[in-house]
Structure 1
Amino acid sequence: MESRAGRDAVTGGEAVPAVRERTPSATLPAEDCSIVTRGLTKRFRSGQVAVDALDLAVPRGSVFGFLGPNGSGKTTTIRMLLGLAAPTEGTWELLGTPMPGGMASVLSRVGALVEGPAFYPYLSGEANLRRYDAADPAADPRTASARIGLALDRVGLAAAARKRYRAYSLGMRQRLAIAAALLGPRELLILDEPTNGLDPQGTREVRGLIKEIAAGGTTVFVSSHLLAEVEQMCSHIAVMRTGRLVAQGPIAGLRAGEAVRIRVETPDLAGAAAVLAASGLAQVRTGDGEVSAELGAAAPERICAELVAGGVAVRGLAVQRPSLEDVFVGLTGEGFDVNG
């Protein structure tokens, strides 16, 4: 029987191409995961399906990139995970506890940043965190100063604690939002587009912070539409498109399904193409002053020697390993934002 992900469909008037299904991490035991969903679905009264039968498995201790174009269902999924929106169908677990029944006991171990930070501009970073902390019924007010100081130090804002929020840079504001999510000890951190709208410096700051948090043993679930950012900081990914899960698993494993290519810069395109084909390489292509082919198991130094022996002038030779963009295009037949 043909898989659901492999059929053409129409959602909201938009044609969805057939895709290759790759969901290896969905087979992980639930006890090894910080987030598990089974058939999680959100259907609005208009009939629009925002999230369609999502089976997700987020390994404990991973930096997990939840990837997809804007409007693919990422924020809706996060809102369901946190109990901010009720699913139409399906079940989910956080930190091994079935939801929504376990919300009261689990959410104190989960930090979240959803749809951007909201702070008082005329208050300092420290004063803003005091208000966040005071709103937590589980927080002990006697230890508030220690918690706030630790959170600010953890995100690198201790020196700017008394500076007014309106004077913070974009990167500092995102750091403060993450500090608010870290006011208590967290086993799981859920971040919705944490680098959205940041300049390159702010993006680097937040990326480095996420890596530091994960190094301390916290599972970090990062929603993003920026391929380059996810590729630099995540160990695992899930790819969404129009509410459906296209693929999930370790980035290295998903890349393994894409071919490594060799690219040859030469003035003799026809001669180079003939040598590559004679060498047994597949998918030989010419264009823009170069010839490329799938390398397969061939050694690039052997191919270079055969080109020279065949009288082909080689100006440059490079081995191109598949990027996350290549994986996404291979899965869906299209691309989306690479750098923002």
Structure 2
Amino acid sequence: MAIETRGLTKTFGHQRAVDEIDLRVPRGSVFGFLGPNGSGKTTTIRMLLGLAAASSGEIRLLGGAMPESSRDVLPRVGALVEGPAIYPFLSGRANLQRYDDADLLTSRATRNKRVDAALERVGLGHAARKRAHAYSLGMKQRLGIANALLTPRDLLILDEPSNGLDPQGTREVRSLIRSLADGGTTVFVSSHLLAEVEQMCDQIAVMSAGRLVAQGTLDELRAQGTAHVRVLTPDPGAARRVLESLGLSPETGGRDDVVTAELTLNGLQPETVNAALVRADVRVRGFTVSGASLEERFVALTGEGFDVAG
């Protein structure tokens, strides 16, 4: 595992901001870390990186126990947490040079080459000499990602990497993250943009009130939700009777020849429903199944809508 925690807990006084979470992030994956505002996502990330001490529990990054192995592990980890810290009076290029200068493991002889490559990779080569105070929020965000990419990384931890980006910038960051994963880098992404997570992540975990309420592949999480069945048939009455015999609650789908119903995927399977209709001589002209969206699963797991500020 690239990241593994056991019983990880963080308390502030009598409040448990993170409550005994067991997180598992496979190597080489793009892992989405979701949760509403105040759910404990950023606190968890800070503990993973040694920026905050855990109250109890265990953390392993890239196979090394943290914080004991931080000297060996952290040089292999790039991170962007709670927005980039930049010197506004310096250019983007000068900012990266200062960041790189603080890394005692890199060579000055190749510094300019690394800085220029990182800027080009995030699409800031044209603005390299512009002072950072003139950067838009999205450009500052990309500069922070460039900092995380100054040297090759085995693990990249990004807290809201698409914050402030326009649609084109968001697509570029998504493409960058996928290319990093294809090259073997594990990417851990905390985000509130559900559509982005669905497009770029292999696996996700969902936090709610400090607890880890779900984790797994996107298909696994969707399969735990509710599917919607739509039957197109000239025999709607017979179709409803069959669905009722299966314990479902069918409804007319806006047309006389359409019957809809909901079923839990980890119980009754769609193919079972279709077979029952055919056995009852219901003339099925169309049978479609739409699974639960990630947003529907999030609301079901956390009991609330997604706070875009989270």
Give TM-score, length-normalised by structure 1.
0.78
1:18 aligned residue:
none
* Inter-partner Cα distance in structure 2 for 1:141 and 1:285: 69
Query: Aligned-pair distance for 1:55?
Result: 0.7
Q: Which runs of 4+ in 1 moved over 6 A?
A: 299-304
* Inter-partner Cα distance in structure 2 for 1:60 and 1:188: 8
1:276 to 240, 243, 249: 240
Alpha-carbon distance change, 124 to 221 in structure 1, aligned in 2, over 3 angstroms: same
Query: Aligned-pair distance for 1:195?
Result: 1.8
* Inter-partner Cα distance in structure 2 for 1:244 and 1:39: 10
Residue pair 2:81, 2:158 contacting (<8 A) in 1 also: yes
Bigger Cα displacement from structure 2, 107-116 vs 197-206: 197-206
* Structure 2 residue 285 is the aligned partner of structure 1 residue 320: no
1:69 to 36, 59, 71: 36
Equivalences for residues 115-194 of structure 1 within 5 A? 115-194=82-161
* Inter-partner Cα distance in structure 2 for 1:339 and 1:300: 43
* Inter-partner Cα distance in structure 1 for 2:143 and 2:59: 29
1:25 aligned residue:
none
Query: Aligned-pair distance for 1:252?
Result: 1.5
Q: Given residue 323 of structure 1, which amino acid in structure 2 is its aligned partner? A: S
Residue pair 1:262, 1:300 contacting (<8 A) in 2 also: no
Equivalences for residues 1-340 of structure 1 within 5 A? 33-45=1-13, 47-263=14-230, 272=236, 275-279=239-243, 282-286=247-251, 289=254, 291-293=259-261, 294=263, 296-298=270-272, 309=283, 318-337=288-307
Bigger Cα displacement from structure 2, 322-331 vs 243-252: 322-331
3-state secondary structure, aligned to 2:23:
strand
* Inter-partner Cα distance in structure 1 for 2:165 and 2:237: 44
Residue pair 1:273, 1:286 contacting (<8 A) in 2 also: no
Alpha-carbon distance change, 64 to 163 in structure 1, aligned in 2, over 3 angstroms: same
2:266 aligned residue:
none
* Inter-partner Cα distance in structure 2 for 1:253 and 1:91: 26
Give TM-score, length-normalised by structure 2.
0.84
* Inter-partner Cα distance in structure 2 for 1:188 and 1:85: 19
Query: Aligned-pair distance for 1:206?
Result: 2.0
Residue pair 1:174, 1:206 contacting (<8 A) in 2 also: no
Alpha-carbon distance change, 107 to 273 in structure 1, aligned in 2, over 3 angstroms: farther
* Inter-partner Cα distance in structure 2 for 1:96 and 1:233: 25
3-state secondary structure, aligned to 2:270:
coil
Structure 2: runs of 5 or more not aligned: 264-268
Q: Given residue 234 of structure 1, which amino acid in structure 2 is its aligned partner? A: C
Q: Given residue 64 of structure 1, which amino acid in structure 2 is its aligned partner? A: F
Query: Aligned-pair distance for 1:298?
Result: 4.9
Bigger Cα displacement from structure 2, 141-150 vs 158-167: 158-167
Residue pair 1:265, 1:289 contacting (<8 A) in 2 also: no
Q: What count of residue pairs does the alignment treat as equivalent?
A: 300
* Inter-partner Cα distance in structure 2 for 1:181 and 1:174: 11
Query: Aligned-pair distance for 1:124?
Result: 2.2
Q: CA RMSD in A?
A: 3.1
Identity fraction in percent: 61
* Inter-partner Cα distance in structure 1 for 2:157 and 2:95: 20
Query: Aligned-pair distance for 1:332?
Result: 3.7
Structure 1: runs of 5 or more not aligned: 1-32
Bigger Cα displacement from structure 2, 323-332 vs 225-234: 323-332
Query: Aligned-pair distance for 1:150?
Result: 1.9
Q: Given residue 92 of structure 2, which amino acid in structure 1 is its aligned partner? A: G
Query: Aligned-pair distance for 1:129?
Result: 0.6
Query: Aligned-pair distance for 1:126?
Result: 1.0
